[in-house]
Amino acid sequence: METREINALVDEISNHLEKPELYHALRVQSSIRSITSEFLKDRNFIEVPPVIISVLTDPLNHPVFDPTIDYYGYRYSLTKSMIFHKHLLTKHFDRIFTFSPNIRLEEQDKVRTGRHLAEFTQLDLEMKGATRDDVISLGEDMIDLFKRIKKTNEEDLKFFGRDLRIPAKPFKRIKYLDAYSEYGEDFEHKLSSEMKEPFWIIDIPLEKREFYDREDPSRPGILVDMDLIYPEGYGEALSGGEREYQLDRIIERIHKKGQTEEQFKWYIEFAKEGLNPSAGFGIGIERLTRFICGLERIEDAHPFPKIPGHLSL
């Protein structure tokens, strides 16, 4: 790499770190972390440390580059999400959460959304024996953190000129196929731009999601899962739902996805031992910061943003 290029990057990073937007956004993010962890601990969740490398990670449902590390002859992936680790933990812990750094080497075209980084943190949680309704209502209660943020970070929100609305509960629930037939392919963006409060997209069709989201036994092809979408055009906030836990269902779903048992052999072995019904969700911390502060781009919610396709520190 040429010195000129290195100098340009150093300048870019120094300018970014000096921005008052970053300072105020990180103060808000710091409050988000403490308020959410206090909220969850009050509800008997235990915080567990994140997993950074593993022989098992989320296959995701969209293409990303896939880095692996060869370590003493074993192939480890960088964590894309802790979905499987969360599910395994519910065998021994009723309620867990983690601030999980995720590496998703997103394709360059994702930059245009303003909400994709190649490295971000998910507040990821899981509840043994829970239903989708349980995690939806937990999510709605958690969003009440807006009230506390408005108090503790009044100065920061003033800096952004952000008049944060406290959404009324319960949030609206819209079925995926209804949204699709009314607004077409781009429904998420259209609805997000139109709405004034966060809303749920529920009942996502099976082929749109990974194999571990539970298919509704009474409605084949429909999953018992959900996304929370921010209003004002900020897009997806979180994804979650109930999990497949029966061995035969897991294997069938892996095949349906065109994936192999070999890819998920570790998980299958645990499923043979028996997994629990559980439900949970993961919410992106930088996106939450972006929404609360009203930032145009997610980069201002991270001191060292990894911008897809762009050289980053």
Kindly list the residues in this chain that would bind Mg ion in the complex (CB under 5 A). Answer: 239
Closest CA to 210 of 267, 256, 173: 256
Residue 283's binding partner out of Mg ion, ligand AMP, none, with CB under 5 to 8 Å set by partner kind:
ligand AMP
Task: Please tell me what DSSP assigns to residue 308.
Answer: T
H helix intervals, 65-131: 83-89
Using rule CB under 6 A, residue 283 touches ligand AMP:
yes
Query: Which stretch, 3-11, 162-170, 236-244, 247-255, contacts ligand AMP (CB under 6 A)?
Result: 236-244
How far apart CA 63 and CA 270 sit, in angstroms, is: 26
How is residue 199 annotated by DSSP? E
Q: Does 284 bind ligand AMP (CB under 6 A)?
A: yes
User: What number of chain residues touch ligand AMP (CB under 6 A)?
Assistant: 16
Bridging pattern class, strands 74-78 and 68-71:
antiparallel
174/238 with CB nearer ligand AMP: 238
Q: In angstroms, give the least distance from the CB of 74 to ligand AMP.
A: 25
> Which of the ranges 147-155, 168-176, 188-196, 276-284 carries the binding residues for ligand AMP, by CB under 6 A?
276-284
Q: Binding of ligand AMP at residue 238 (CB under 6 A)?
A: yes
Which residues are within 8 A (CB) of 140 and not within 5 positions of it... i.e. 6 or more apart? 169, 170, 171
Given 213, 286, 299, 300, the residue binding ligand AMP (CB under 6 A): 286
Structure tokens at 261: 């048992």
Distance in angstroms (rounded) separating the CA atoms of residues 282 and 288: 11
Angle, nearest 10°, between helix axes 247-256 and 265-273?
160
Judged by CB, which is closer to ligand AMP: 208, or 272? 208
Residue 117 sits in the site that holds ligand AMP (CB under 6 A): yes
Residue 126 CA to residue 84 CA, distance in Å, equals 10
Closest to ligand AMP by CB, 157 vs 301, is: 301
Confirm or reject binding of residue 120 to ligand AMP (CB under 6 A): yes
- Cα R_g (the chain), whole angstroms: 20
Percentages (nearest 5) of helix, strand, coil residues in the chain: 40, 25, 35
The residues, any chain, with a CB within 8 Å of residue 309's CB and separated by 6 or more, are: 107, 108, 111
Nearer to Mg ion, 36 or 239 (CB): 239
Q: State in angstroms the smallest separation of the CB of 237 from ligand AMP.
A: 6
Q: Which of 24, 87, 95, 116 binds ligand AMP (CB under 6 A)?
A: 116
Q: Does 236 bind ligand AMP (CB under 6 A)?
A: yes
What does 59 interact with, of Mg ion, ligand AMP, none (CB < 5 to 8 A by kind)? none
Q: Which of 79, 100, 192, 239 binds ligand AMP (CB under 6 A)?
A: 239
Among 29, 81, 90, 289, binds ligand AMP (CB under 6 A): 81
Whole-number Å distance between alpha carbons of 268 and 275: 10
Among residues 88, 237, 254, 292, the one that binds ligand AMP under rule CB under 6 A = 237
199: which 2 tokens?
């809303």
Cα–Cα distance, 260 to 263 (Å, whole number): 5
- Which H or E run includes 280? strand 278-284
Counting contacts by CB under 6 A, is residue 282 touching ligand AMP? yes
Positions that interact with ligand AMP (CB under 6 A): 81, 104, 106, 116-117, 120, 122, 236-239, 282-284, 286-287
